[in-house]
Amino acid sequence: MIFPAEVPPENKAKSQRYYNYFSIMNGVSYMCVGETVIILLAIKIGCPDYLISLLGAMMYIGFLLMFLGKPTCARYGAAKTQGVFWMARNVAALLVAFSGVLGLLGFSGAAFACILSGAFFFYGFRASGVVMCAPLVASFTDRDDLGKVLGVSAGYFYLFSLLTLLAIQVVLLFSESIWSLIGIIVVGSIAGFVSSKFILELDESAALLHSSQKPLMQEWHGFWHNIQLRRFLPVNFLVGFMIIVVNPVSMLVVKKGYSLRDMAVLGYAMLLLLSSALCSYVGSKVVTKIGPRKLYFPAYFMFLSVPVIWYFVPVRYSTPASCLVFFMIGGGAALMNLGGNQYFIQLIPEKKQIAYSVFMMLITVPISGIVGGGVSSLLLKRLVSDGMTATQLLQQYKIYFAIVFVLLCPGFFFIKRLIPLPEEVLKRSKHWWGRSLLWK
């Protein structure tokens, strides 16, 4: 319900309860239809490596649809906007699952098109839905309990994500068939539909409706002529580019290069989640001393270490080396996001943050997806071909990561060019996990 003024206390309490229910079901859905499960399904239906790397970029390319969120919110409100797009997102998840059926029937081309388009709309509708997510949560909380509400809901999200991941591993322990993966995605889609129901029950203030009706382009001049933001744009691009060229192919290394079971690959997905949570916590402590800009440097070198490890690791499977790789990816991504969020918050006045964040994401996120996915796909198309043995694949992946290392090296200079903030001290929210949940 949209209230003309502030949301009443009893409705705030109800909305907070429903937001926790949403976080629980969203955690279940997020793991069942996450990137790792989609990649495993793509391998099952015979997708070539260059298309699988493009699948990994869809999370970023999907932000091309982000522009749909604001006009929808201006007409129907933030809660209904997120709820409707969350439903559409899970219809797209069913399209991903259907690609498995097409693959079983032998329609390979249709299956590839289905999984790529399904992934694009799955991530694209999510981007549309979360445009006003942060203001929506703020509308049914008070300044004093915002951190608590976000912290509790994030705790539920991570807890049920881990429990769901464990349940998926148990399922795959008994069967790693394509039907198992299709069933997991369908369950995730159903959980997503349920989570949409809880979002639609949230109450909000009419102030969100009025805020979303203001034209964004009025803020464009100030955004583009802010030199600090212009230097921040390539760094924001770099974050997405690094994740795209490193993470999906690392999954290919352990699955196709080392021929690990699906259950073991999902174990590395769990490690990504745990390392992300751990490094977010540690980073929130460190950043208060060094500032958000300087947090980029350790995060960048964590990512830069990944291609080095894969290049020098023996052809024989090494559990410590593989664990180190996925710890570096999860931790590096978390530190990059933490540093970027806090740098942006300190740099931009609160009243301009929504407009500027939309500009930032529309410019850098899809471009990083298109460029990163394009580069990764092109390299894999040249390096990997059908019929290669696991050993041959590993040798080609080593060449891939050697090239990636060279491509990532200039990133240091973009980070170095970031203009220091007047005081490199974090003005942070009460809880370190506060903002992370909003973008799941």
228-250 pLDDT, tens digit per residue, is: 888 889 999 999 999 999 999 99
User: 186-201: string of b/e by CB count within 10 Å (b at 16+)?
Assistant: bbbbbbbbbbbebbbb
CATH topology for the 7-439 domain: Growth Hormone; Chain: A; (1.20.1250)
Q: Decide which of 372 and 350 is more confident.
A: 372
Residues 266, 40: Cα–Cα separation, whole Å: 9
Average pLDDT, the chain: 86
The candidate with the shortest Cα–Cα distance to 253, out of 306, 299, 302, is 306
Residues 190, 227: Cα–Cα separation, whole Å: 45
Both structure tokens of 26: 């969203």
- In this prediction, residue 222 has a pLDDT band, given cuts at 50, 70 and 90, of confident
Q: What integer pLDDT is reported at residue 430 of this predicted model? A: 42
Residues 375, 345: Cα–Cα separation, whole Å: 31
Looking at the DSSP assignment, which residues form a beta bridge with residue 204? Answer: 2
In terms of average pLDDT, the best of 140-149, 231-240, 276-285 is 231-240
pLDDT at position 287 over 80: no
Looking at the DSSP assignment, which residues form a beta bridge with residue 2? Answer: 204
Report the run of H or E that residue 234 belongs to, with start and end: helix 227-252
pLDDT at position 213 over 80: no
In terms of average pLDDT, the best of 186-190, 275-279, 344-348 is 186-190
**Per-residue pLDDT tens over the stretch 154-174:** 778 888 988 999 999 999 989
**Per-residue pLDDT tens over the stretch 40-70:** 999 999 999 999 999 989 999 999 998 888 8
- Domain locations along the chain: 7-439
pLDDT at position 439 over 60: no
Amino acid at 175: S
Chain centroid to CA 49: 21
Task: List, in order, residues 6 or more apart from 385 with CB less than 8 Å away.
Answer: none
What mean pLDDT comes out for the span 324-331? 94
User: Do the beta carbons of residue 359 and residue 50 sit within 8 Å?
Assistant: no
User: Do the beta carbons of residue 162 and residue 115 sit within 8 Å?
Assistant: no
What mean pLDDT comes out for the span 75-79? 85
pTM across the whole model: 0.85
The candidate with the shortest Cα–Cα distance to 377, out of 400, 352, 361, is 400
- In this prediction, residue 147 has a pLDDT band, given cuts at 50, 70 and 90, of low
What mean pLDDT comes out for the span 398-424? 88
The candidate with the shortest Cα–Cα distance to 194, out of 299, 319, 89, is 89
**Looking at 165-174, 262-271, 429-438, which range is the least confident one?**
429-438
Q: What is the dihedral of CA 324, 330, 333, 335, to 10 degrees?
A: -80
Provide the phi-psi class of 46: left if phi over 0, else alpha when psi is between -120 and 50, else beta. Answer: left
Residues 152, 161: Cα–Cα separation, whole Å: 14
CA angle 289, 364, 58 (to 5 degrees): 110
Q: What integer pLDDT is reported at residue 423 of this predicted model? A: 57
What 8-state DSSP symbol labels residue 204? E
Both structure tokens of 1: 């319900």
Residues 192, 87: Cα–Cα separation, whole Å: 7
- In this prediction, residue 90 has a pLDDT band, given cuts at 50, 70 and 90, of very high
Both structure tokens of 376: 């990764």
Percent of the chain exceeding pLDDT 90 equals 50
**Per-residue pLDDT tens over the stretch 345-369:** 778 776 777 778 788 888 899 999 9
Q: What integer pLDDT is reported at residue 350 of this predicted model? A: 62
User: Do the beta carbons of residue 222 and residue 352 sit within 8 Å?
Assistant: yes
